[in-house]
Amino acid sequence: MGPYRPVARLGAGGMGEVFLARDDQQRAVAVKVIRPELAASKDFRIRFRREVDAARAVSGRYTATVVDADPEGPVPWLATAHILGPTLADAVEEYGPLPPQSVLALGAGLAEALIAVHSAGLVHRDLKPSNVLLSPEGPRVIDFGIVRATDGYELTLSGVLLGSPRYMCPEHATGAQMGPEGDVFCLGSVLAFAATGNAPFDGASAATLLYKVVHGTPDLTGVPYPLDTIIGLCLDKSPTARPTPDRLSAACAPGGADTLNWDGWLPEPVAASAARQAADLMHLELEFESRDDVIEWEPARATSGFKVAGGVRTDPRPAVRHAVTDRPSPRRVVFPEERTPSSQPRKTPEPGTHRAQRPTLPRPSRRTVLAAAALGTVTLGSGVAALLGGPKNRPRSAPKPAGPAPKPLWVYRGDPLVEAPAVFYKGTALLKSQSGALFCLGLADGTRPRWTYRGISQSPTPPLLASDGVIALGTGSTVLGVDPVTGTERFSLDFGTDFRFDTLLGGLGNKVAIAGLRFNREDTPDGSQGAATSTNVVLNTDLRARLADVIPLSKEDIGLDLKPVVVTGHFIYMDGLHRLTARGTTSRADVLWRQPTKSDSDARSAPVVLGKNVFAVDSELIAVDVQSGALRWRAKEEKGGFASVAAAAGTVYCTTRNPHGVQAFDAVDGTRRWFRETPPLDLGNALVAGDGMVFVTAARNRDGFYAIDAQKGELLWNFTDGQDAGINDWQLSCDREGPLIAQHFDKVYALPMPRP
């Protein structure tokens, strides 16, 4: 292999073998050698050449440095610095999950590695536990075998799905374009494995596994705070909702990974395995002097054994042993303010009370943080706050509510709820649980369900009222109709194995719009069906006629988290080029009209309709005639744009980004009525407008939500139950006949609504 002579085989994979080797200067390197039959393939050489170029382009402390390569030789190879330490996969298999502080350090290091990869204009696409080395000096990302440039160039291999399904992101699994955000999703899966020993998605077959990656809810059982919040945000199905690597690094390690002292970051058994590798390497150097064959190295075990081609021999030297003390396991370390369920519980404020904000404290020194981490007493609030998107510092005089929150009329507690607002029907609220149940609560007294229907999809989409019933998605490609009074099933429509549905987009009359995947199976030469490829599809379904039309989408709309509003003959949404677009609702219809908006963000919010106009926000608020698409008026927000929009009683309300707050406009001519600055808000969550009040959720989950007077813009009150439910955000909804329904993880609160 050029100037390198193999000493031992470290392992083998689909592309070839990896050897520990050394050159004439006695430098130890890891050399990846392509299998001869693959080297004969022109396409495979192109792939390997791209891997070499990618690995050379990436530089950083948390990746393996390329030493040398020969992609054009008779036997192509790539040499990188040899890094002592087991892979994350081997370490967890041998010693169990890592303690929380080790996983946080791991997350910081891997986030920094992704920053280096993405800065080179690349996407890794195969971040998984076996591609992460646990060095005593910090983690290292290896193997750029399926990395690609972000310019869109893609080498196509027919019938081959490159990557590891258990750690794929949804866009990779569906064949959609994968950007840097996909690597963040993969990192979340890797951290979940490090913390629990299990991937967040699992399945008996590859098809089942990929379906769960695209549509399923990640299993984060046993992941402690704040890791559950961090990982949950990484695993968001929407790429634009995931945190960037720099914010992820700050959340895991305030100040970033580069300022950490990595001494002692690994639990003792894992660190000891790296020490054994160093001792084994020294022994191999001596062994190498007297041998001509290649030794099979098994480094990460309590004893050392070497396999020789043609047989197995026993290592004559004694096994290296390390004393194990009775000191407390680092896995038992808990965070002082956010303890695990097995430790002392936190005191929860009474629902409806406002939790006082903690004073802003100076950031501790790096040495202080590291010393505290070693003792298990590090606090991570500032880092998680950075990840959640809140401002780095609260305003010195944050607005305060005028009075206390009202007491709930009633509280319901049951299974964890789907993150979707309630739907109202004649004095009742219809909700979904994560256990696959649709249930009905009375608005006068919702402490017990009036009925429960089981067997619906767990997708985060609310049910719809259409065709005189409640419409919900079942499993796979099933659409269900349920009687809203009794909860009995009226019908079940199965669209067959060519479809998988995940979202109800809207309904009107007897029709509902459904989003999901459509599988196209190609016939093979022998007449059988080959592998299936999937594309995004939107169906407008007539429930009575049992007919469905495919609503066509443009290329820039494929893969978007569509948030449309559906009115008669119109399917209106913010498209991939940030244009407010109206399409017809039949397969023969095309774009009815488009209205461009000024955009300074990748986020897209749902438009709303009031009267004959539709309202949409980006860096500006626009009012457009529903039928013609004519622009009625526009309002600019100079400092940071708008985040979401709602409309009620002749008024349009928008959340603002800088500063956080709510603005109100006259729906007819766009006249600005008032602006109310608020404490930091969760701008990814839509605001809710009733007849007399506007409601917005706080940036921190545990801070609940705020009520604002719809006429005067006065900040009225803040309601919270004091719980941090991780990725389970507050969901708010109201109608003209009953109270405000506020959902939080496994609870539903009904709060009184004053009527004008």
- Any idea which residues carry the catalytic annotation? 126
Dihedral of the alpha carbons of 637, 639, 641, 644, in degrees to the nearest 10? -90
> Terminal CA-to-CA distance of the chain, rounded, Å?
82
Max distance between CA atoms of the chain, in angstroms, equals: 93
* Cα angle for residues 730, 732, 733 (degrees, 5° grid): 160
Question: Distance between CA atoms of 651 and 691, rounded to whole angstroms?
Answer: 10
Read off the tokens for 367: 């040495």
Q: How far apart are CA 736 and CA 756, in angstroms?
A: 11
Beta strand pairing status for 715-719 and 705-709? antiparallel
Among 591, 592, 594, 623, CA closest to 607: 623
CA 321 to each of CA 101, 276, 277, 283: distance values in angstroms, whole numbers, following the listed order: 26, 9, 12, 15
Residues 419/460, Cβ–Cβ less than 8 Å:
yes
| Strands 478-482, 489-494: pairing kind | antiparallel
**Segments in 26-153 forming alpha helices (H):** 36-39, 42-57, 88-95, 100-119
With H, G, I as helix, E, B as strand and everything else as coil, classify residue 176: coil
**Complete DSSP assignment for 629-645:** --EEEEEE-TTT-EEEE
For residue 391, give the nearest of 738, 695, 680 by alpha carbon. Answer: 680
Nearest-angstrom CA–CA distance, 604 and 578: 8
What is the Cα–Cα distance from 212 to 216, expressed in whole angstroms? 4
Q: What is the CA angle 98-99-104, rounded to 5?
A: 90
Query: CB burial class (10 A; 0-12, 13-18, 19+) of residue 562?
Result: buried
8 Å CB contact between 11 and 31: no
Angle between helices 381-388 and 245-252 (to 10 degrees): 160
Measured from the Cβ of residue 438, the count of other Cβ atoms closer than 10 Å reads 24
Beta bridge partners of 705: 697, 719
Helices assigned H by DSSP within 308-462: 366-375, 381-388
